[in-house]
Amino acid sequence: MSSVRTRRQAAAIATPVTPSPAPREEQVVMNGNGKAHGSAKDDYPRENIFLFWPNLIGYARIVLAFASLYYMPLHPRTCSGLYSVSCLLDALDGYAARYFEQSTRFGAVLDMVTDRCTTACLLVFLGSAFPRWAIIFQGLISLDLASHYVHMYATLAMGGSDTSHKAVDKSRSWILNLYYTNKTVLFIFCALNEVFFIALYLLSFSSPFLSPSLLQVTNNGTSGTSLEPGSPAQPGASLFLNPHSAAALELARANKMDSFVPWVIAGVSFPIMFMKQFINVVQLVKASRWLAEGDIAARKAAGLPRKRKMK
């Protein structure tokens, strides 16, 4: 009996014990990309970032911006309306992102790129409408693009990939902290900045003081023969053979635009626009210094500059 018992104990030791399968809720399956998936109860629903509500609003902004550019050379009222709606939706997409909890990096980039591109396109038109001041508009485009690009790059490089470009500490710049963290301040500055340029655009169609070509007289005594941007064409010009066409009537209405309201809007919004450009300068300088601080730290970590041996 003892020998039989001994053989049974040896067989039990030699036979590997197979563990019982884990409960279904604890099983984890790895796919080819190394991503773990838990049970169906723990999985989140699959989401399409491109169809989030804030991003859909962003696409609508792009469509409206392109439509405004189409009407920009000859239809000031239609263009101004479409462009203004596109700018106002900029505030709505941020609200939608917070309400639906759909804040994404793609949405932030889409919003910033749309802002920069639409403003640049309007400034390009103003540069052609007022060629004497084209260098000013070219400088504003360059400042806007450079300021936001360097600021975004510095935030990602120095603050980390999870840091928002709006997360500016007061110790680095109190004015940028106020600009980015106070939603009311941000909306007023962005809105009135665009309003000022829209007012200039309308003045290119209505103010002989800014657009002397509006006073040009043709052989038959009519005015406004120039087809340059910002200068409404004569309704009977060869561009529109039928003087009663819809395009000709729109141009006739453009010729009758009153410059008083655009002048008032431009005067009221100019200080905010000027401050917005000042903030762009501050943002560019602060971001450049932040990058330089990181470069100095990296060079010290690498033992640079090396001391050269004197011969």
Positions marked active-site? 115
List Cα–Cα distances, 95 to 1, 15, 129, 136, 226, in angstroms: 83, 65, 36, 34, 44
- Cα–Cα distance between 35 and 277 in angstroms, integer? 46
Residues 6 or more apart whose CB falls under 8 angstroms from that of 102 comprise 52, 53, 54, 55, 96
Residue identified by tokens 């690009």 is 149
Q: Which one-letter amino acid corresponds to residue 86?
A: S
Q: Which residues pair with 47 in a beta bridge?
A: none
| Neighbouring C-alpha atoms within 13 Å toward the C-beta of 263 | 9
Q: Per the structure block, which two tokens stand in for 144?
A: 């806007």
List Cα–Cα distances, 251 to 47, 150, 246, in angstroms: 48, 42, 9
